[in-house]
């Protein structure tokens, strides 16, 4: 595996990549089994695999955990090596950003609902860095997890709107043995907080069971989920279609149930696609 830190090094590789399928997994590091599942899928489906590790400052709002976001470069590098990654791109902030940037703006509707309400501007910064990375790596396939469902939706929209020549691959959520969705922020949870956090996945599982029994009323489903999560600080429980428009009845094959909650000082998100 080769570690790359500059744009010039990455651009010099493009000649090696000609006529090869390139799989790309962009990350912010602190790699866990969720990331590993993306990398393995990329390895199975492509000739060359590139992983990036970059904690993107423009998608963190004031008061969020940019300074304390877990950084484990040595361990992450070893994980990538064991997963047979070909190139690890780990740039400095000064490499990716200049002092006076052309800015990308998230769409006015889809970018400012749910996650966008609590974190206005977050998706602007996320799209900015993803666009930069896609332009630099020029992958055939780029892999993103379904846990960040709104992020995934906006990336796909950006690819369509800007006519980018890349296939966005949607990858399933990976969970801990107890059902908690994998996240780099799970390390912040105390033992008791982790127990409380399990109510998120339990509520989603219960909602799926209700739907399987024929309950399609969104208000009924949301109320049931809120009862299960009564020990944590719920930010939102929402049921939408795949365009993130709120719906009153479940549309099988076109619906998502999304949760955001604060457990102690840790903000967690999770979802299921129906």
* Distance of alpha carbon 204 from alpha carbon 193, whole angstroms: 18
Question: Long-range contacts: 8-17, Cβ < 8 Å, 24+?
Answer: 10/87, 10/89, 10/136, 10/137, 11/136, 13/87, 14/138, 16/48, 17/48, 17/138
Instruction: Extract the tokens encoding 259.
Output: 């949760």
Instruction: Extract the tokens encoding 1.
Output: 């595996």
* Distance of alpha carbon 18 from alpha carbon 27, whole angstroms: 24
Annotated catalytic residue within 10, 30, 35, 115: 35
Annotation says 35 is catalytic: yes
Let me know: does 260 contact 115? Beta carbons within 8 Å: yes
Residue 249 CA from chain centroid, whole number: 26
Q: Residues near 14 by Cβ (< 8 Å), separated by ≥ 6?
A: 138
Which of the residues are catalytic?
A: 35
């Amino acid at each position: 595996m080769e570690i790359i830190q500059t744009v010039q090094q990455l651009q010099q590789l493009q000649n090696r990549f000609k006529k090869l399928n390139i799989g790309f997994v962009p990350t912010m590091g602190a790699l866990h089994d969720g990331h590993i599942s993306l990398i393995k899928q990329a390895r199975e489906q492509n000739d060359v695999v590139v992983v990036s590790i970059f904690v993107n400052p423009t998608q963190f709002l004031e008061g969020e955990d940019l300074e304390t976001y877990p950084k484990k470069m040595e361990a992450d590098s070893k994980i990538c090596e064991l997963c047979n990654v070909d190139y690890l791109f780990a740039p400095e902030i000064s490499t990716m950003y200049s002092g006076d940037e052309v800015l990308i703006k998230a769409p006015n509707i889809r970018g400012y609902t749910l996650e966008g309400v609590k974190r206005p501007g977050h998706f602007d910064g996320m799209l900015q860095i993803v666009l930069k990375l896609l332009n630099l790596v020029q992958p055939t396939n780029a892999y993103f997890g379904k846990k960040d469902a709104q992020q995934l939706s906006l990336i796909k929209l950006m690819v369509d709107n800007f006519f980018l020549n890349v296939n966005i691959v949607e990858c399933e959520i990976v969970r801990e043995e107890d059902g908690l969705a994998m996240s780099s922020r799970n390390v912040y949870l105390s033992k008791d907080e982790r127990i409380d956090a399990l109510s998120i996945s339990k509520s989603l599982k219960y909602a799926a069971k209700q739907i399987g029994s024929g309950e399609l009323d969104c208000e009924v489903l949301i109320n049931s989920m809120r009862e299960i999560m009564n020990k944590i600080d719920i930010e939102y429980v929402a049921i939408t279609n795949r365009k993130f428009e709120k719906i009153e009845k479940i549309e099988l094959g076109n619906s998502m149930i999304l949760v955001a909650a604060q457990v102690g000082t840790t903000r967690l998100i999770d979802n299921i696609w129906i």
